[in-house]
Amino acid sequence: MFSKLLIANRGEVALRVLRSARELGIATVAVYSTADAEGLWVKLADEAVCIGPAPSTQSYLNQSAIIAAAKGTGAEAIHPGYGFLAENAAFSDLCAAEGIKFIGPTGAAILTMGNKSAARLAAVRAGLPVVPGSDGAVESAADAARFAEAAGYPVLIKASAGGGGKGMRRVDDPAEMASQFAAAKAEAAAAFGDDTVYLEKLLEHAKHIEFQIICDAHGGGVSLFERDCSTQRRHQKLIEEAPSSVLTPAEREEMGAAALRLAAAVDYEGAGTVEFLYAGPGQYYFMEMNTRVQVEHPVTEAICGLDIVAEQIRVAAGLPLSVTQAELGQPRGHAFEFRINAEDPRADFRPSPGTITRYVVPGGYGVRVDTALTQGAQIPPYYDSMVAKLICFGLSRAEALARGRRALEEFIIEGVETTIPFHVKMLQQPAFIDGSVTTDYVEEQAGDWSL
Ligand code: MV4
């Protein structure tokens, strides 16, 4: 087992990793930008290294500064968290070259899954169902129109180097194909430095169902069941839940096995998430694979009784997984995660940085708050707006929902606007209560809410 671990991240996920490392008896090294010097994770770490000024490119994305901090403190491993360098293949390879264990998959696995067209090809080869799509990249608007004619409109033009909804364009009509195709390529070139695009038939009113898997270095792997992440706004997840309210045990087993087949095909090591679009019984299709631990992992921890970050560290140290698929059985209970962002839901969710003047955290059985917030904390404008995650567990979905409503009412954050009012309203919606929300719900239904 490692004796010292560097956490190459900030905020709630840095604290999350620090806690699991400490419980495993591992010394912790925090890194921070000049804007984060007072961060809770900086204070709680055994050692802390300032890696640069506030802008991410000069701090949390500064690979050489992070490697230097690891070498300077003698850290044997680096946990990247999510975001920043978590899915940066070059950084994974750089750690390996420097003899530092990257807590995550190899650069090769990250590269394959980071190219959404290559990921789709790997999925087809591993026998996963995919939505009807072009075989690889589409070079011209004429080819794109031919695909769309055959598959039927509407179609999606997707950037191979995109993902998470970035670089996606919907085309409903042949007349707009040429302009949308050109715009999609230009947008992909500008955003990712790669204008390669591919096409898929658009699957409307589908759910975003993703499977958490974790693989050890000895060919072992388990499915930790699914999460329903359909409550999204402009591809930003707002509420996640586990398990979904739609899968049958047979679908759960089938989709989990498919996710593990895809992982095996790329010699995957560590925690990963395989995303599916779910359009009804037996109608599920591979979308993407994320090669990092995700923001929403706590809802899976709640229904599995497992510390996923501790498992990541264990498998990176060459230990076998702590649990077998047989021991996991079926999900136990139900959990929701509500993302508390410093954004104003009354003003198009625009960021709301500032100082926390009042802060009261909910508690009680089945309530977990993952945050680095403290009274008087500054929320800087440089980073992602998520400041806390409220996770509520219950033996049934109804119990978890009631607990979520109660905890959201208790949660007080003043000094900045937050998404709490959005969550309170969402939990009153019949479509949410009956579990039928799909990926288009928030855009179609919640756009004109008066909160
Ligand atoms: C799709 C899709 C429907 N049809 N592909 C969004 C980002 C990445 N996970 C892939 N995504 C989707 N791909 C086909 N062929 C629906 C989504 C999707 C989505 C799309 C629009 C708005 C919100 C969304 C949330 C999750 C998934």
Q: Is 229 in the pocket of ligand 1 (CB under 6 A)?
A: no
Atom of ligand 1 at shortest range from CA of 201: 15
Task: Report how far ligand 1's centroid is from the alpha carbon of 229 (Å).
Answer: 11
Q: Is 313 in the pocket of ligand 1 (CB under 6 A)?
A: no
The predicted structure's pLDDT at residue 131: 95
Task: Report how far ligand 1's centroid is from the alpha carbon of 406 (Å).
Answer: 31
The predicted structure's pLDDT at residue 426: 97
Task: Kindly report the backbone phi and psi dihedral angles of residue 341, in degrees, each rounded to the nearest multiple of 5, phi listed first.
Answer: -105, 145
Task: Report how far ligand 1's centroid is from the alpha carbon of 166 (Å).
Answer: 10
| Segment 416-449, tens digit of pLDDT | 999 999 999 999 999 999 999 999 999 898 877 8
Per-residue pLDDT averaged across 65-83, rounded?
A: 98
Residue 406 has pLDDT above 80, yes or no: yes
Task: Report how far ligand 1's centroid is from the alpha carbon of 138 (Å).
Answer: 19
The predicted structure's pLDDT at residue 165: 85
Nearest residue to 390 via CA among 371, 359, 408, 369: 369
Amino acid identity, residue 16?
A: R
Of the residues 130, 156, 442, which should be mutated to test ligand 1's pocket, given the most ligand atoms within 8 Å of the CB?
156
Q: How far apart are CA 38 and CA 206, in angstroms?
A: 43
Q: Tokens standing for 253?
A: 């087993």
What average pLDDT does the chain have? Answer: 96
Residue 253: pLDDT band with limits 50, 70, 90: very high
Of the residues 116, 235, 240, 286, which should be mutated to test ligand 1's pocket, given the most ligand atoms within 8 Å of the CB?
235
Residue 166: pLDDT band with limits 50, 70, 90: confident
Cβ 367 vs Cβ 403: under 8 Å: yes
Of the residues 16, 233, 292, 339, which is catalytic?
292
The predicted structure's pLDDT at residue 413: 96
The predicted structure's pLDDT at residue 144: 98
Of the residues 157, 166, 168, which should be mutated to test ligand 1's pocket, given the most ligand atoms within 8 Å of the CB?
168
Ligand 1 atom 3, closest CA: 203
Amino acid identity, residue 207?
A: K
Per-residue pLDDT averaged across 156-176, rounded?
A: 93
The predicted structure's pLDDT at residue 63: 98
Of the residues 227, 277, 289, which should be mutated to test ligand 1's pocket, given the most ligand atoms within 8 Å of the CB?
277
Q: Is 202 in the pocket of ligand 1 (CB under 6 A)?
A: yes
3-state per-residue secondary structure call for the chain: CCCEEEECCCHHHHHHHHHHHHHCCCEEEEEEEHHHCCCHHHHHCCEEEEEECCCHHHCCCCHHHHHHHHHHHCCCEEECCCCCCCCCHHHHHHHHHCCCEECCCCHHHHHHHHCHHHHHHHHHHCCCCECCECCCCCCCHHHHHHHHHHHCCCEEEEEEEEECCEEEEEECCHHHHHHHHHHHHHHHHHHHCCCCEEEEECCCCCEEEEEEEEECCCCCEEEEEEEEEEEEECCEEEEEEECCCCCCHHHHHHHHHHHHHHHHHCCCCEEEEEEEEECCCCCEEEEEEECCCCCCHHHHHHHHCCCHHHHHHHHHCCCCCCCCHHHHCCCCCEEEEEEEECEECCCCCEECCEECCEEECCCCCCEEEEECCCCCCEECCCCCCEEEEEEEEECCHHHHHHHHHHHHHHCEEECCCCCHHHHHHHCCCHHHHCCCCCCCHHHHHCCCCCC
Nearest residue to 272 via CA among 129, 34, 87: 87
Q: Is 287 in the pocket of ligand 1 (CB under 6 A)?
A: yes
Per-residue pLDDT averaged across 293-304, rounded?
A: 98
| Segment 98-142, tens digit of pLDDT | 999 999 999 999 999 999 989 999 999 999 999 999 988 999 999
The predicted structure's pLDDT at residue 140: 97
Q: Does 292 qualify as catalytic in the annotation? A: yes
Task: Report how far ligand 1's centroid is from the alpha carbon of 165 (Å).
Answer: 6
Q: Is 208 in the pocket of ligand 1 (CB under 6 A)?
A: yes
Ligand 1 atom 25, closest CA: 439
Residue 229: pLDDT band with limits 50, 70, 90: very high
Nearest residue to 353 via CA among 340, 369, 341: 341
Q: Tokens standing for 23?
A: 């419980």
| Segment 347-356, tens digit of pLDDT | 999 999 999 9
Per-residue pLDDT averaged across 58-73, rounded?
A: 98
Q: Is 164 in the pocket of ligand 1 (CB under 6 A)?
A: yes
Cβ 285 vs Cβ 277: under 8 Å: yes
The proportion of the chain whose per-residue pLDDT surpasses 70, expressed as a percent, equals 100
CA 404 to chain centre: 21
| Segment 167-194, tens digit of pLDDT | 899 999 999 999 999 999 999 999 999 9
The proportion of the chain whose per-residue pLDDT surpasses 90, expressed as a percent, equals 95
Q: How far apart are CA 241 and CA 216, in angstroms?
A: 25
Ligand 1 atom 15, closest CA: 202
Q: Is 227 in the pocket of ligand 1 (CB under 6 A)?
A: no
Residue 21: pLDDT band with limits 50, 70, 90: very high
